[in-house]
Chain A
Amino acid sequence: MTLKPTFHTALIRSFLAVTGLALCAGVAAQTAPPLEGTLKKIKDTGTITVATRGASIPFNYLDDNNKQAGFAWEIAQRVVDQAKKDLKLAKLDVKALEVTPQTRIPLVANQTVDLECSSTTNNAERQNQVSFSTTFFVVGARLLVRKNSGIKHWSDLVGKNVVVSAGTTAERMLRQLNEKNKWGINIILAKDINENFLTVETGRAVAATQDDIILFSNIARARNPADWEVVGVPQQKEAYGCMLRKGDVAFKKLVDGVITGMMRSGEFASLYEKYFLKPIAVKGSVTVNFPMSPDMQELLRHPNDQPL
């Protein structure tokens, strides 16, 4: 009797295949040389996968010439250069992989991505899955409103429609605030940073909540920047760091060293000027115009990798 390939035999076969793979992986891990984790992978494959975002201006974006650019992207490039030097590689290929807020953590955890530098907040929940480098930016969530909206403070939002990007730390903050004070805010969730702004622009929401720097970059790109303003005192500060594999001490040391080195040498300050104070090549030319905050100046004096 011949056994027809049924669902069950297929199941058994795939089970055997998976077990086989797991066994192979186990053997490979046992014979690993002293170089470990991300650095070993970089050396063995001659490639490094760096995550990027399509439109997180000015941290990661495609500029008008369709080239990857951005403040965080350049920091990642410095890390790549340093890794190449430390590992004495003649050639190191950089693979750029576009991620979204939803995919970035799984992709770092399952080791598809070696390094993710973008507008990613360092917090306790995420530290369960990934490690964060030295902080390279400090932000606080604020409100983007039309100048004539009459909204100046968080408490002016009672009973109004407010939009926030889904799944962000800003959403978490807004929900906590709403729940605690019983303000009855209608929270509208937007898919990404651009849709977030579109929702206030079309009048569906009176305000958009987001990390302040992103709001300023929205205004810079708006059709009529003079119509908009950023209000509300930040309720809490947040630290952006580069994500890398959890517990990868050697690679973290390298990344931290690069960022701290840039802060000490003044390179960080000039990079800041390039992206936050001078025109960048987006939609012709826009200027974010966001002078360094006292928190950022403090960070430059005392670099650290703590969530805020």
Chain B
Amino acid sequence: MHYTWDWLIFFKPSVTGEGMYGLMLLRGLLWTVVLSLLAWTLALGIGLFAGVARTLPSRTARYLSTVYIHCFRNTPLLVQLFLWYFVVPELLPVEWGNALKQMNPTTNQFLTVLVGLTLYTAAKAAEQVRAGIESVPRSQKQAAMALGLGTAAAYRHVVLPQALRTVIPPLTSDFLNVFKNSAVALTIGLMELTGQTRQFSEFSAHPFEAFIASTLIYVAITYGVIVLMRHVERRTRVPGLLGAA
């Protein structure tokens, strides 16, 4: 390999005159973290509703949430993002579409990715929630109803407290995936960590240093998430409910 390594490149000024190369990565990291955490928080809320809706007695609720989950879980995130960014503004009334397009481009890109990433992640989280609910024996819900609890109260006090604890480990994977999936933002021009890494590598012609650094950053983020989730798992675990006590 004929490659000139230069690990000090991070501290050298960028050719664009916008500060050091290392700062590009930090700027990207900030977008990645803000985007992923927001998307995850919203996705948890939506996923909880959609997951519960799939198990409700109401046929309409079940039908609607099934359609939503299937559409968003079974198509590539990249395709969804392109639809949100390029197609949706053309389908809206002309003034709305133009208002969207004339917004500050970064805000517009951020909101587009946030919507896309949230709905995609929520659809996956919803399936986990449904699986969790179905893992609680039906007899428990029936017993709760027999005691006079309504559907809402039975979910609130009996089913969900167990179901949600059960799904914490699989949800950890989804949490990790949000950070990794957020890299699709670069395809519509939001320069998150991967996007900035590519810029860095193009401008400096030091691609390997740039990508090694961002790989380490991603590993650090995901490791942090794993440690956090282990802690949450331990705190919320019900002894005897999940394999090893």
| Chain A min CB distance to B203 (Å) | 6
| Residues of A contacting B17 in the complex (Cβ-Cβ under 8 angstroms) | 175-176, 179-180
Task: Pick the residue among B1, B6, B90 that contacts A202 (CB under 8 A).
Answer: B90
Q: Does A46 contact B (CB under 8 A)?
A: no
Decide: B198 and A167 in contact? CB cutoff 8 A.
Answer: yes
Q: Does A102 contact B (CB under 8 A)?
A: yes
Chain A facing B: main interface SS: mixed
| Residues of A contacting B188 in the complex (Cβ-Cβ under 8 angstroms) | 191
Indicate with 1 or 0, residue by residue over B173-214, a CB within 8 angstroms of chain A CB atoms.
000000000000011110100010011011111111000000
User: Beyond the given A128-B206, A186-B104, could you list 6 further A-B residue pairs with CB under 8 A, ordered by the A residue number?
Assistant: A111-B2, A161-B102, A166-B202, A175-B16, A180-B17, A189-B195
Decide: B199 and A166 in contact? CB cutoff 8 A.
Answer: yes
- What are 24 A-B pairs at a CB distance below 8 A? A102-B202, A105-B201, A106-B207, A109-B1, A109-B2, A125-B15, A125-B204, A129-B3, A129-B4, A166-B191, A166-B199, A167-B202, A167-B203, A171-B16, A171-B199, A172-B16, A176-B16, A186-B104, A188-B105, A188-B109, A189-B189, A191-B186, A191-B189, A203-B101
Indicate with 1 or 0, residue by residue over B71-113, a CB within 8 angstroms of chain A CB atoms.
0000000000000001001100000001001101110010000
| Chain A min CB distance to B8 (Å) | 13
**Count of interface residues, chain B, beta-carbon cutoff 8 Å:** 35
Decide: B205 and A128 in contact? CB cutoff 8 A.
Answer: yes
In whole angstroms, how far apart are the Cα atoms of A31 and B47 in the complex?
63
Give the interface centre of B18, B90, B199 by most chain A CB atoms within 10 Å.
Answer: B199
Task: Pick the residue among A126, A198, A247 that contacts B2 (CB under 8 A).
Answer: A247
Decide: A203 and B106 in contact? CB cutoff 8 A.
Answer: no
| Residues of A contacting B86 in the complex (Cβ-Cβ under 8 angstroms) | 198, 202
In whole angstroms, how far apart are the Cα atoms of A172 and B15 in the complex?
7
Q: Does A84 contact B (CB under 8 A)?
A: no
Task: Pick the residue among B2, B15, B98, B198 that contacts A166 (CB under 8 A).
Answer: B198
| Residues of B contacting A190 in the complex (Cβ-Cβ under 8 angstroms) | 189
Which residues of A149-200 have CB atoms within 8 Å of chain B's CB atoms? Answer: 161, 166-168, 171-172, 175-176, 179-180, 186-191, 198
| Chain B min CB distance to A239 (Å) | 16
| Residues of B contacting A186 in the complex (Cβ-Cβ under 8 angstroms) | 104-106
Decide: B98 and A203 in contact? CB cutoff 8 A.
Answer: yes
What residues make up the interface of A, taking CB atoms closer than 8 Å to B? 101-102, 105-106, 109-111, 125-130, 161, 166-168, 171-172, 175-176, 179-180, 186-191, 198, 202-205, 245-248
Decide: B189 and A175 in contact? CB cutoff 8 A.
Answer: no
| Residues of A contacting B208 in the complex (Cβ-Cβ under 8 angstroms) | 106
What residues make up the interface of B, taking CB atoms closer than 8 Å to A? 1-4, 6, 15-18, 86, 89-90, 98, 101-102, 104-106, 109, 186-189, 191, 195, 198-199, 201-208
| Residues of A contacting B16 in the complex (Cβ-Cβ under 8 angstroms) | 171-172, 175-176, 179
| Residues of A contacting B207 in the complex (Cβ-Cβ under 8 angstroms) | 102, 105-106, 109
In whole angstroms, how far apart are the Cα atoms of A130 and B102 in the complex?
41
| Residues of B contacting A248 in the complex (Cβ-Cβ under 8 angstroms) | 2
| Residues of B contacting A105 in the complex (Cβ-Cβ under 8 angstroms) | 201-202, 205, 207
| Residues of A contacting B199 in the complex (Cβ-Cβ under 8 angstroms) | 166-167, 171
In whole angstroms, how far apart are the Cα atoms of A258 and B202 in the complex?
28
In whole angstroms, how far apart are the Cα atoms of A25 and B1 in the complex?
11
| Chain A min CB distance to B11 (Å) | 16
Decide: A110 and B191 in contact? CB cutoff 8 A.
Answer: no
In whole angstroms, how far apart are the Cα atoms of A182 and B187 in the complex?
27
- Of chain B, the residue at the smallest CB distance from A173 is B16
| Residues of B contacting A167 in the complex (Cβ-Cβ under 8 angstroms) | 198-199, 201-203
- Of chain A, the residue at the smallest CB distance from B188 is A191
In whole angstroms, how far apart are the Cα atoms of A188 and B205 in the complex?
22
| Residues of B contacting A198 in the complex (Cβ-Cβ under 8 angstroms) | 86
In whole angstroms, how far apart are the Cα atoms of A31 and B124 in the complex?
56
| Chain A min CB distance to B130 (Å) | 34
Task: Pick the residue among A179, A188, A189, A246 that contacts B18 (CB under 8 A).
Answer: A179
| Residues of A contacting B6 in the complex (Cβ-Cβ under 8 angstroms) | 128
Decide: A101 and B189 in contact? CB cutoff 8 A.
Answer: no
Given known A188-B105, A188-B189, contact A125–B2 (CB-CB < 8 A): no
In whole angstroms, how far apart are the Cα atoms of A168 and B90 in the complex?
28
| Chain B min CB distance to A210 (Å) | 15
Decide: B198 and A125 in contact? CB cutoff 8 A.
Answer: no
| Chain A min CB distance to B45 (Å) | 30
